Amino acid sequence: MLQRIILTLCVVFLLTITKTVRAQHKLVEKWRTDTILKVPESVFFDAKNKILYVSNIDGAPDKKDGKGSIGKIGLDGKVINVDWVRGLNAPKGMALVNNTLWVADLSEVVGIDIVTGQITKRIAIPNSEFLNDVAADANGVIYVSDSKKKTVIKIENDKPSFLLENLKGPNGLLVHNKQLYVLDDGSLNKVGADKTLTKIADGMEGNTDGLQHVQGADFLVSCWAGFIYYVKGDGTTELLLDTHTEKSNTADISYDPSTKTVFVPTFFKKSVVAYQLQ
């Protein structure tokens, strides 16, 4: 009887291990651009136009020096134009609403017409210091994080107002299924209608930076220091990539669900790397 129980437990254990191994995800490199980008902080996948936009900080990440730009990259990894739009100030996160690309530009959110490549609007955010990521909902409402002020700002009809305050260090934002999510100093949180945060996962290393939805209740989270995590709906995480010892950053990522491709800006390594999510 005891032997039978032990055998049964061993079988269950082996099946559990097998399921765990099969459930593990991984990233396999597909391509990387030439190292001609200018401190790329964020990459945005435009599914309709089949192109990638990349924000180049170029100068200091917290200075209004006019050195920043937005570049364009093909889905094959070929850099189309490093400085498609010039004259920005440490640009970072991006979001697309119709034909307007909204960019966090230190203390204002800049609107760029993707057809003409012209800046069409600048929305100043009062008392801001370090605007970082941008997200938009289906109605064109824009959300932007200020990592230094520890706030999230909502912009509706071009008018900014504080949505969240007294956070720890907000960065990555995402609107999925009419729900806003925010990365805050190592944690992934869902924002309630009453502005309360429900923690989904925490304990991620480095400065949590980029946030993308994968499927169901699963997400991808990048940490600037060089880590990318697969976050499951139950809050468990899988470390997919660790490049911190190579001093290759993993800043604000983007994702193409149709090909399961993750696009990673490497900051000081001056390139964007594409990985297949498996």
Average pLDDT, the chain: 93
* Dihedrals phi, psi of 154, to nearest 5 degrees: -105, 130
Q: Are strands 179-184 and 170-176 parallel, antiparallel or unpaired?
A: antiparallel
- Distance of CA 4 to CAs 13, 14, 18, 122, 131, Å? 14, 15, 21, 72, 62
**In the predicted structure, residue 12 carries a pLDDT above the cut 60:** no
- Is residue 76 domain-resident? yes
| Full domain range(s) for residue 83 | 27-277
pLDDT band at 145 (very low <50, low <70, confident <90, very high): very high
Rounded to whole angstroms, the Cα distance separating 211 from 219 reads 7
pLDDT of residue 205: 85
- Is residue 22 domain-resident? no
Alpha-carbon torsion (168, 129, 81, 37), positive or negative: negative
DSSP track, 228-266: EEEE-TTS-EEEEEE-GGGT----B-EEETTTTEEEEE-
- Is residue 184 domain-resident? yes
Q: Which residue has the tokens 């996962």?
A: 201
> 191-224 pLDDT, tens per residue?
999 999 999 999 998 699 999 999 999 999 999 9
- Is residue 57 domain-resident? yes
| Mean pLDDT (whole number) for 123-142 | 97
**In the predicted structure, residue 11 carries a pLDDT above the cut 50:** no
Rounded to whole angstroms, the Cα distance separating 122 from 210 reads 23
Nearest to 188 by CA among 163, 168, 166: 168
pLDDT of residue 20: 31
**In the predicted structure, residue 126 carries a pLDDT above the cut 80:** yes
> 19-75 pLDDT, tens per residue?
333 448 999 999 999 999 999 999 999 999 999 999 999 989 999 999 999 999 999
Q: How many domains does the chain have?
A: 1
- Is residue 10 domain-resident? no
What pTM was estimated for this model as a whole?
0.91
- Is residue 250 domain-resident? yes
- Is residue 145 domain-resident? yes
Percent of the chain with pLDDT over 90: 90
Rounded to whole angstroms, the Cα distance separating 30 from 77 reads 9
Residue 176's CATH number: 2.120.10.30
Residues contacting residue 22 through CB under 8 Å, at least 6 positions apart: none
**In the predicted structure, residue 264 carries a pLDDT above the cut 90:** yes
**In the predicted structure, residue 18 carries a pLDDT above the cut 50:** no
Tell me the Cα Rg of the chain: 20
Rounded to whole angstroms, the Cα distance separating 52 from 148 reads 28
- Is residue 1 domain-resident? no
